[in-house]
Every structure is written in structure tokens, then in C-alpha cells.
């Protein structure tokens, strides 16, 4: 029969083994810092959504891995998204002046509020809405991306 001290040692060794196993199998988590530049005014919020796939990019308010809004305090704002798995991502930004957390458009589908897309692709009537592949970037370590706000379509 095992003595109480031997049982305690076996139990302690088992618990330590389990805790190390969980640490080894933990997936790496990265932080994405998004810097939005070129904000034209001081009212409303800048709302950002991070997408891990093309599904819903860039217009969906329900798809996307993470999202958040930042109160406008100057011509630039910064928002961090932590806990991202290494992978390919794209970011869509809206200068939400009326607080509805979406990009308002006119009858023809042209944005009435400021917007931005990671990698700052051309957005015009000819090019249409940017594709995920044109706005995506790899996150495999802590990453910073800069997005310039647009308040009209490109020529």
C-alpha cells in the first residue's frame, strides 16, 4: 500500500505534467495595431472590423473576427486587436459620424461617410469594392498597419 506522501508526490507530478502539456499546445496569439490617418473632423467614432477571410469583407457588420470603435480625438487614431491567430487578415474602417456603426451610402451605393481599407487600395466606380486579396496582409507576429481615410471615391 502506498504511503500518503507517495500519493501526494504522484498527484503533484501528474498535475505538473498536465499544466506543461497545456502550455505547449497553446496557440500563439498576436496583436494587430491599426493606425487610421487622415481623419477630417472631430465628431463621431472610427469603427474598425478585422476579417480573417473574404466572407463579408468589407461591408458585413456581422462577419469578421474582431471589431471595435474608437472616439475621434485628432486626425489619427489607434486601435489594438489582441489574441489573433497567425494568418491572413484585412481591415475595413468607417468614419461613423451618425453612430449607426455602418457605412452609409447614397442611392447609387457611393459612401456618404469616410472609409478606409487595409493596404489602401484604389476605390472608384471602375474598380468597385476592394477584394479581400487586395487588402489582406499576413499576421505572424505583432503587426502594425496604417490606413488612410477616404472621404470620396478615387478618380
Q: Assign 11 a pLDDT band (cuts: 50, 70, 90).
A: very low
For residue 79, count CB atoms less than 10 angstroms from its CB and return exposed for 0-12, middle for 13-18, buried for 19 or more. buried
**For the segment 48-69, what is each residue's pLDDT rounded down to a tens digit?**
999 999 999 998 877 678 999 9
Is 90 exceeded by the pLDDT of residue 34?
Answer: yes
Q: Whole-model pTM?
A: 0.80
Q: Assign 135 a pLDDT band (cuts: 50, 70, 90).
A: very high
C-alpha cell at 90: 484585412
Q: Which segments within the chain are labelled E, that is strand?
A: 30-37, 45-51, 66-71, 76-84, 87-96, 115-117, 137-139, 143-148
Name which residue leads in pLDDT, 63 or 118. Answer: 118
Q: Quick check: 59 and 103 in contact, CB under 8 A?
A: yes
Amino acid at each position: 500500500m502506498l504511503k500518503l506522501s507517495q500519493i501526494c508526490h504522484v498527484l503533484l507530478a501528474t498535475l505538473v505534467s498536465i499544466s506543461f502539456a497545456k502550455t505547449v499546445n497553446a496557440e500563439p496569439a498576436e496583436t494587430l495595431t491599426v493606425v487610421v490617418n487622415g481623419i477630417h473632423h472631430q465628431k463621431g467614432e472610427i469603427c474598425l472590423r478585422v476579417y480573417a477571410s473574404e466572407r463579408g469583407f468589407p461591408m458585413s457588420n456581422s462577419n469578421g473576427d474582431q471589431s471595435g470603435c474608437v472616439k475621434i480625438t485628432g486626425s489619427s487614431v489607434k486601435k489594438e486587436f489582441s489574441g489573433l491567430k497567425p494568418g491572413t487578415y484585412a481591415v475595413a474602417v468607417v468614419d461613423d459620424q451618425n453612430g449607426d456603426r455602418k457605412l452609409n451610402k447614397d442611392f447609387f451605393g457611393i459612401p456618404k461617410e469616410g472609409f478606409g481599407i487595409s493596404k489602401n487600395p484604389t476605390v472608384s466606380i471602375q474598380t468597385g469594392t476592394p477584394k479581400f486579396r487586395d487588402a489582406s496582409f499576413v499576421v505572424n507576429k505583432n503587426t502594425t498597419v496604417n490606413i488612410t481615410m477616404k472621404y470620396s471615391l478615387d478618380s
